[in-house]
Amino acid sequence: MTPAPCDLGNSKDSLKNSIINHLRFTLGAYVESASKNDWWVATCLAIRDRVMDHATKSRTLHRQSGVRRVHYLSLEYLMGRLLENNLRNSGLYESTKAALGEMGKDLDALLDCEPDMGLGNGGLGRLAACFMDSLSTVNLPAIGYGIHYEFGLFRQEFVNGKQVEHPDAWMRDGSPWKIARPSYRQTVQLYGRVVQKFDDCGHPRSEWVETKALLGLPWDIPIVGYDSHTVNVLRLWQAQADEDFNFQVFNEGSYVEALRDKAIAETVSKVLYPNDSTESGKELRLVQQYFFVACSLADIVRRFKVGYTLPWSEFPSKAAIQLNDTHPAVAIPELMRILVDLEGLPWNEAWKICQETFAYTNHTLLPEALEMWSVSLFERVLPRHLQIIYQINQLFLEGDVEAKWPGDSEKKRSLSLIEERGGKYVRMANLSVLGSHATNGVAALHTRLLCERLFADFYALYPDRFLNLTNGITFRRWLDVCNPQLSALITETIGESWKKNADLLRNLDPHADDPAFRARYAKIKRDHKVVLAKIIEDECGVTVSPDALFDVQIKRLHEYKRQHLNLLNIVTLYREILDNPNADFHPRVFIFGAKAAPGYFLAKNIIHAINAVAAKVNNDPRVGDKLKVVFLPNYRVSLAEKIIPASDLSEQISTAGKEASGTGNMKLALNGSLTIGTLDGANVEIEEEVGSENIFIFGLTVEEVTELRAKGYNPWDYYWANEKLRNTIDWISSDYFTGNAEEFQPLRRSLLDHGDPYLCLADYQSYVDAQAKVDATYKDQDKWVKMAILNTARVGKFSSDRTILQYAEKVWNLPQVPIGE
């Protein structure tokens, strides 16, 4: 019997019915008495119903047409909230709002019920989320793989100005977006040992025995593209015990003991490691990496086997696998294990398949962020994989390296997959480059430095394998969703096509000269500043004027990002205001948002210092409204969505050569926030696009940094030569701000005694001068607004649709497959 089709129409009335049905039949609630959360869940489910049909259609069409698919492997996805994004992308926002309105509910109020899905640390995880949006939007067959963390990035609170971390139980009440797929559960092996056996034909085979087993349960989250019927999925693996509990122990009465294994197994997907850029060498982290990689590869192989009867040599023509940083790099020996040990392929054939399948994105040049695993740990957790890595290494060093540099042991040392100095470590970055056909950097400067510095020898060996793919952001979330007012003004002015072709934003260029357009643009900015001022009042208890210049630094707290350089300028200004109360200085609000890794002592000291300075400045009657400093707690995607449209100035002030790309810089520029920044990461390309007259560039270049270090950098030289700087540092490290002169000695010592590793002092004067230029420019509001409009108009290059189409063309060789209604 064919069931009656359910009404999944997009009209207001259909949506209304769906929401009511979910309230009644899924949640068991009455319309009259349902809670706000019930309404939010019912609305999500009504939208999910409409989306799932397209997910099934997309999957079926991709399978039937036998096209290559890309599998994006990432340990992090910083998705934020999904409801508004899904509504706007699917064109259901207005009808849903109307449907709820008729039932006396305000959609915008319901949106706030959604907890952020914060399964990432920062830029890398948010990039993965933007890429998922673009993959669906441009109709590419794709699956994202990751971990179903029970706890996302910690929730941050300030107690006496210091960061305190709390668990982020984002899905304590479940999530209406995720769907369990128990029929695709996978089993993963760990630990154990390797034995040599012989198969029926007498060929030697390695067998991994006496292992511990772990189960991976997949949860699918549909990814809705903008104005496209492609709905790809994000598949996240949850770790489960092999058996629910040990029956024998249970029968003997030791109930708690019986459940021990289950609890241990579940820790594997319990929590996201709260690092960004610095790696921790914890066993659990290696187990997490292998767990999700093994589940994902088994899933990919399963699909290849059931979908086709093709020889293994065709595997790369069906599956591309992108490694988001080295975190999933253990996928390379895992695929080798599957092909050689389980499928019996000859080594060379398997290696060719591997290299054709994998591609690797590098996201950092920071040496401390390059993952290395101690050989002894690796051997204990993944003994067979270590053997495979050794074999890959031996063949490589005796083959290509020896051929290119005969007898050169220094080259072998630098290219080896094993670091031998100071203990033995597996170098995951070298493994990733070697096991892939393509390695990309994430901005032009970063890629140049990869080729010239980090991977210089690999580049000399395999120049064709390296390419640049400058990062991007999805303009839907970072303009359409977070700034619908500006989005509407743009659409009214140049039409709607910019949402799919961001280069068309250039058509706004001439409107920068139109005073009426400028006035409307400026009003939208001011309205957002009023909203943010209210949030600041609520969260920080500080009253700020929306007419002040909102100066924003939002990103992870890290020395290389130099929040402490920003602080040096703030304290300098504070002193100037006290010394010269009548100076013509436009009122400014410095706004920070940042989490520090819980074990990163100096980063936490910097947070404390900023909060301590804020407390003094904000309560000093001599300062009044001229200067305010606020540190908004618990920075996350949904807060970024409120801050970015309200920002006037975007702080992108990393030491040149340290920030691989940055993507906050793109989001802020798109929303008309002018950049004050160094020539680092994607700032370089932002300057090229917006024009040097529409950005405030300062500081040393990469080459100058190298030169200065080669000469021997001594921060004390700058300290003694610059009285303002000296006074500023001395003031911060006095007892003035907290009553305790010891409090910020770690910061002072880092800047002076420990050599100022990120060159804050070297860039200080140039930064202060650039800030003075910002002040002067802001006073000319016509000029400022014009510059802001030109930023919005000229950053089309930074759409993640462009980035993803470049990956599809240059790395994955992937067709676009539009899905019909």
The one catalytic residue in 69, 148, 556, 558 is: 556
Task: Decide whether 122 or 316 has the Cβ nearer to ligand RUG.
Answer: 122
98, 11 Cβ separation under 8 angstroms: no
- What gap in Å lies between CA 245 and CA 264, rounded to an integer? 11
Q: What are phi and psi of 296, to 5 degrees?
A: -70, -45
274, 154 Cβ separation under 8 angstroms: yes
- Residue 675 burial class via C-beta count within 10 angstroms: exposed 0-12, middle 13-18, buried 19 and up: buried
Quick one: tokens of 13? 């009335």
Specify whether 663 is catalytic: yes
The one catalytic residue in 50, 71, 636, 667 is: 667
Task: Decide whether 34 or 660 has the Cβ nearer to ligand RUG.
Answer: 660
Task: Decide whether 163 or 364 has the Cβ nearer to ligand RUG.
Answer: 364
The one catalytic residue in 663, 675, 678, 792 is: 663
CB of 663 to ligand RUG, least distance (A): 5
Quick one: tokens of 133? 């949006």
Which amino acid type is present at position 523? K
532, 646 Cβ separation under 8 angstroms: yes
Task: Decide whether 364 or 572 has the Cβ nearer to ligand RUG.
Answer: 364
The one catalytic residue in 235, 525, 561, 748 is: 561
CB of 127 to ligand RUG, least distance (A): 4
- What gap in Å lies between CA 662 and CA 555, rounded to an integer? 9
Specify whether 520 is catalytic: no
Task: Decide whether 9 or 281 has the Cβ nearer to ligand RUG.
Answer: 281
- What gap in Å lies between CA 66 and CA 309, rounded to an integer? 12
CB of 608 to ligand RUG, least distance (A): 23
Strands 142-147 and 696-697: unpaired
CB of 111 to ligand RUG, least distance (A): 27
Task: Decide whether 363 or 595 has the Cβ nearer to ligand RUG.
Answer: 363
How far, CA to CA in Å, does 626 sit from each of 345, 545, 549, 583, 622? 71, 10, 10, 10, 9
Task: Decide whether 123 or 796 has the Cβ nearer to ligand RUG.
Answer: 123
The one catalytic residue in 105, 229, 363, 626 is: 363
CB of 254 to ligand RUG, least distance (A): 43
Task: Decide whether 364 or 728 has the Cβ nearer to ligand RUG.
Answer: 364
CB of 369 to ligand RUG, least distance (A): 4
- Residue 346 burial class via C-beta count within 10 angstroms: exposed 0-12, middle 13-18, buried 19 and up: exposed
Specify whether 555 is catalytic: yes
691, 670 Cβ separation under 8 angstroms: no
Task: Decide whether 43 or 663 has the Cβ nearer to ligand RUG.
Answer: 663
Specify whether 437 is catalytic: no
Nearest CA to 804 out of 28, 29, 232, 7 is that of 232
What is residue 387's DSSP assignment?
H
- What gap in Å lies between CA 251 and CA 272, rounded to an integer? 35
Task: Decide whether 42 or 669 has the Cβ nearer to ligand RUG.
Answer: 669
CB of 700 to ligand RUG, least distance (A): 18
CB of 199 to ligand RUG, least distance (A): 40
Dihedral of the CA atoms 562, 568, 574, 580 (nearest 10)? -130
- What gap in Å lies between CA 231 and CA 57, rounded to an integer? 8
CB of 190 to ligand RUG, least distance (A): 24
Task: Decide whether 660 or 804 has the Cβ nearer to ligand RUG.
Answer: 660
Quote the crossing angle between the two packed helices 563-579 and 760-779, to the nearest 10°.
60
- What gap in Å lies between CA 7 and CA 509, rounded to an integer? 45
595, 154 Cβ separation under 8 angstroms: yes
Quick one: tokens of 139? 């109709």
Specify whether 561 is catalytic: yes
| Exposed e or buried b per residue across 96-133, where buried means at least 16 C-beta atoms within 10 angstroms of its C-beta | bbebbeeeebebeebbebbbbbbbbbbbbbbbbbbbbb
680, 763 Cβ separation under 8 angstroms: no
CB of 528 to ligand RUG, least distance (A): 24
CB of 217 to ligand RUG, least distance (A): 27
Specify whether 424 is catalytic: no
311, 343 Cβ separation under 8 angstroms: no
461, 411 Cβ separation under 8 angstroms: no
Q: What are phi and psi of 568, to 5 degrees?
A: -60, -40
* Residues found near ligand RUG in the complex (CB under 6 A): 122-124, 127, 276-277, 325, 363-364, 369, 442, 471, 659-663, 681
393, 426 Cβ separation under 8 angstroms: no
Q: Which residue is nearest to ligand RUG (CB)?
A: 123
CB of 684 to ligand RUG, least distance (A): 13
Task: Give me the residues paired with residue 385 across strands.
Answer: none
Element (H, E) at 186: strand 186-190
Task: Give me the residues paired with residue 550 across strands.
Answer: 589
Task: Decide whether 218 or 681 has the Cβ nearer to ligand RUG.
Answer: 681
Nearest CA to 134 out of 607, 467, 475, 466 is that of 475
Q: How many CB atoms neighbour CB 596 within 10 A?
A: 23
CB of 592 to ligand RUG, least distance (A): 18
Four-residue CA torsion sign, 453, 459, 463, 467: negative
Task: Decide whether 127 or 353 has the Cβ nearer to ligand RUG.
Answer: 127
The one catalytic residue in 303, 555, 588, 608 is: 555
Quick one: tokens of 525? 């900015």
What is residue 81's DSSP assignment?
-
- What gap in Å lies between CA 48 and CA 50, rounded to an integer? 5
- What gap in Å lies between CA 33 and CA 31, rounded to an integer? 6
645, 668 Cβ separation under 8 angstroms: no
Active site residues: 363, 555-556, 561, 663, 667
